[in-house]
Structure 1
Amino acid sequence: MNKVLATLIAGLFATSVYAQTATPAMAPATKVEAKANEKIVKAEVAEAKVDAKADEKMSKAHAKAGEKKAKATAKAADKKADAAADVAKADPADKMKAGAKADEKMAKADLKAEKTVAKADAKVEKVAAEAKKDKTIAAAKTTEKKAEAAADVKKDAAK
């Protein structure tokens, strides 16, 4: 669902950018201005694509982490249930020993689940940082292209 949504949003940006250049408020005075506008449009489309990819990576990472967390929690619950069952079927004389063993199993199961959850969260944070980096770089490239286009227009005007 998120992938489809991201694709639709990227398509919306791309079509709106092209739609704006097809009928500008003022016609470009020179070929240089037209090329500058085209350069800006291409940069904005590229930025939108990078943003969509980054958002897609984030949604995949969140989904994968959610699955890992659920699996780890379920596994811990199973181990706890097994430990409780072992205590229930133990001889009355061995109940205390079985209870201690069960507590140890439950603690280990909880520890393993907590580790898995922590690793999944760390992975999501790593992907989030990378996505933010990608978006920032794309925005910087777009800004650079806009500055280059403005400089080209100024050079042409100075002629």
Structure 2
Amino acid sequence: MNKLIATLIAGLFATAAFAQTPATAPAAPAAVKAEAKEAKTDAKATAKETKTAVKAEAKTAKVEADAKKDVAVAKADEKAEKADAHAKAHKTKAKAHAKAEKAEAAAPAPVVTK
């Protein structure tokens, strides 16, 4: 009798487990599909945000590079102007010195009387 009761109880558990398995199986793929779709949507959104951020960083880097280039060009222009001014001043000074020597050579020597 104990074996008969044990067999009946085991059969009940087996049929209950067998009956529940198909009921959850079709629901699982729908849930999995929904999760996969949600994950795909999240991935697309993340990729779009990342792409936008990368574009923004690239624009910022380009603007910074242009600004640095402009500063470098301005410094080079300033340096060139300074060199031109220095050369012009040197030329003017040399002309003045030559003119002074010419005037000194043309002036008569002072006469010293005793």
| TM-score relative to the length of structure 2 | 0.53
Distance in structure 2 (CA, Å) of the matches to 1:91 and 1:132: 60
Q: Deviations over 1:94-114 (max 9, x none)?
A: 432332222111100111122
Pair member with larger Rg: 2
Distance in structure 2 (CA, Å) of the matches to 1:116 and 1:99: 25
1:115 partnered with 2:45: yes
Q: 1:146 aligns with which of 67, 71, 76?
A: 76
Distance in structure 1 (CA, Å) of the matches to 2:57 and 2:79: 33
Q: 1:103 aligns with which of 26, 33, 46?
A: 33
1:27 aligned residue: none
What amino acid is aligned across from residue 113 of structure 1 in structure 2? Answer: A
1:156 partnered with 2:86: yes
What is the correspondence of 1:61-100 to structure 2 with a 5 Å cutoff? Answer: 91-100=21-30
Percent identity of equivalent pairs: 21
Q: SS of the residue aligned with 2:76?
A: helix
Structure with greater contact order relative to length (CA < 8 Å, sep ≥ 6): 1
Q: 1:135 aligns with which of 46, 65, 74?
A: 65
Give the unaligned 5+ runs of structure 2.
1-19, 90-114
Q: Deviations over 1:63-117 (max 9, x none)?
A: xxxxxxxxxxxxxxxxxxxxxxxxxxx7313432332222111100111122112
Give the unaligned 5+ runs of structure 1.
1-89
Q: 1:124 aligns with which of 50, 54, 57?
A: 54
What amino acid is aligned across from residue 140 of structure 1 in structure 2? Answer: D
| TM-score relative to the length of structure 1 | 0.40
What amino acid is aligned across from residue 36 of structure 2 in structure 1? Answer: M
> What stretches of structure 1 move > 3 A for 4+ residues in a row?
none
